[in-house]
Structure 1
Amino acid sequence: MTAEARMYRRAIALIAIVLAVIAVVGAVIAWVVAGPAAAGAALIGAGVAALGAIPTPVAMLVGHRKPPHVMAGIVAFSWLGKMFVIIVALLLLKNVESFHKAAFAATAVTGIVASLVVDVTTMRKARIPYVQPGP
Structure 2
Amino acid sequence: MTAEEQLYRRAIRITIVVIAAIAVIGAAVAWAVVGAAGAVAALVGAGVAALGAIPTQVAMLVGHTKPPHVMAGIVAFSWLGKMLVIIVALLLLQGVESFHRGAFAATAVTGIVASLVVDIMVLRKARIPYADPGT
> Which residue is 2:99 aligned to?
99
Structure 2: segments with no counterpart, 5+ residues:
none
Task: Tell me how far apart the structure 1 counterparts of residues 113 and 18 of structure 2 sit (CA, whole Å).
Answer: 11
Task: Tell me how far apart the structure 2 counterparts of residues 65 and 123 of structure 1 sit (CA, whole Å).
Answer: 17
> Which residue is 1:79 aligned to?
79
Percent same amino acid at aligned positions? 76
Structure 1: segments with no counterpart, 5+ residues:
none
Deviating above 4 A after TM superposition, structure 1's stretches of 4 or more consecutive aligned residues are: none
Cα drift, residue 129 of structure 1: 1.4
> Which residue is 1:48 aligned to?
48
- Give the RMSD, CA atoms, in angstroms: 0.7
Using structure 1 for the length normalisation, give the TM-score: 0.98
Cα drift, residue 83 of structure 1: 0.5
Q: Give the partner amino acid of 1:114.
A: A
Cα drift, residue 53 of structure 1: 0.4
Using structure 2 for the length normalisation, give the TM-score: 0.98
Cα drift, residue 96 of structure 1: 0.6
Aligned pair count? 135
Q: Does 2:5 align with 1:5?
A: yes
> Which residue is 1:126 aligned to?
126
